[in-house]
A = this chain, B = another copy of it.
Amino acid sequence: MSVQSSHGHTHAKGPQSLRLTKGAKKVLEVLERTEELSSAQDIHVALRSEEESPPGLTTVYRSLESLVQFGLVQAVDFGDGERRYEMVKPGEHHHHLVCEKCRDSVHLDQCLVQQLEESIQAKYKFEVRGHILEIFGLCENCQNAMAATGKK
């Protein structure tokens, strides 16, 4: 990994070089060890409880913005008003199966949309640049739990 501190070093890849600021570094640390998706506020809370002098919420937002732009982090939209973030393999992205009951999510290994880009291009003459895709439902556990107790 060639991401470095703000002391002059920049990441080699990406559309534009990233200067990893102090705040962004801490944000990334939180995401690095977090399995689930985290909102900006989640991250802020986490930092507050473990850093002697935690970055402010504003800095968390700014850090996320640059990390996303840089391709190290992806923003995920569940359609509730709160964006969530998670680390991704640099430049990659993926989607989720989100359980509406327990809120746990399965990280899908392949993107359904990417493999359709050419056909969309061909059929609609539309140049695909991005997309959002998240699938909601019930995970196996919650299906069973539901079957055990009352329905619905």
Contacts and interface: CB of A to CB of B under 8 A. Distances in A.
B134 A134 contact: no
Contacts of A134: 131-132
Interface in A134-152: 134-140, 143
Interface string A117-136: 00010001111111111111
Size bin of chain A's contact surface: 20 to 34
Nearest to A106: B124
B129 A136 contact: yes
A112 interface: yes
A29 interface: no
Nearest to A134: B132
Given A81-B81, A112-B116, A113-B112, A124 B97 contact: yes
